[in-house]
Structure 1
Amino acid sequence: MKVLPPTLRDPKRYLALELICEVRVSRDDFLNEIFSNSAALIGDFGSSQAGIRLLDFDDNMGILRCKRGSEDLTRAVLATITIVGGYPAIVNVLGIAGTVRSATEKYIEKRDPYSVPNDKHI
């Protein structure tokens, strides 16, 4: 099969996120919570339409990919996550970007754990 040219692919958005939890959480535990809450909130069809994928997750920070137009659904799914790996947790979306590189540079690399996030992009 031929690969689709970029003009025919679905546009994507990348959410930089922070998981606030008492302990470090494994990628698998976080991924299970994302997919179980996604299925509970928007169903299987909505989950496939949103195209949610966890690209990177390390040290309770990560990059999540979704299709353009489903950013609000994805944020709603993340807001429903309250327990990860048996510990209480909160998911904080740091920002949304059009590329992985810009999401990483804007929201993850320059993140100071003691600073208040700038909410002008949200």
Structure 2
Amino acid sequence: MKRLMPSLRAKKRYLPFELISEEPASRSDLVREIMASAASLLGDVTASECDIKVLGFEEGKGIIHCSHIKVKETRAAMAALTRINGKRATLHVLGSSGTVKRATEKFLANYEPFEPKAENVQE
């Protein structure tokens, strides 16, 4: 079977993210919860149009692949995720890119997790 020409293939976007949770989660647990969140928020038809796939996930950071016309819906589904295995969790989307290489270089290379600073603390 012949492959489609690049002009006929579906375009995609890559969303690098950080998982913030009470306990570490496995890739399979994360995939299950993202799909459940997308299906409950968007419905089965729109969730399937988003074409969400978790490409990589390790040490609390990863990349999600989605359709270029459904980026907003995908981000909304990721924001709606609140629990993984019964423990509180959230996904923080770091940005959007057209290639995996650029998403990794720009958003994940030297990423430091957000740590609130204690300013004006009186003892």
Corresponding position of 2:73: 73
**Structure 2 SS opposite 1:7:** coil
Corresponding position of 1:107: 107
Provide the C-alpha distance between the structure 1 equivalents of 2:113 and 2:43, rounded to a whole number of angstroms: 35
Gaps of 5+ in 2: 117-123
Provide the C-alpha distance between the structure 2 equivalents of 1:61 and 1:6, rounded to a whole number of angstroms: 29
Larger Rg: 2
Write the deviation string for residues 3-40 of structure 1: whole angstroms up to 9, x where unpaired. 11111001100000001012211001110001111111
> How many residues of Structure 1 are paired with residues of Structure 2 in the alignment?
116
Q: CA deviation at 1:115?
A: 7.0
> What does 1:1-122 correspond to in 2, within 5 Å?
1-114=1-114
Higher helix share: 1
Structure 1 segments, 4+ long, off by >4 Å, are none
Corresponding position of 1:120: none
- CA change 1:25–1:16 in 2 (3 A) is same
For the aligned residues, what is the CA RMSD? 1.4
Gaps of 5+ in 1: 117-122
Provide the C-alpha distance between the structure 2 equivalents of 1:38 and 1:115, rounded to a whole number of angstroms: 28
Provide the C-alpha distance between the structure 1 equivalents of 2:86 and 2:61, rounded to a whole number of angstroms: 18
Provide the C-alpha distance between the structure 2 equivalents of 1:6 and 1:40, rounded to a whole number of angstroms: 33
Q: CA deviation at 1:49?
A: 0.9
**Structure 2 SS opposite 1:15:** strand
| TM-score of the aligned structures, taking structure 1 as reference length | 0.90
| TM-score of the aligned structures, taking structure 2 as reference length | 0.89
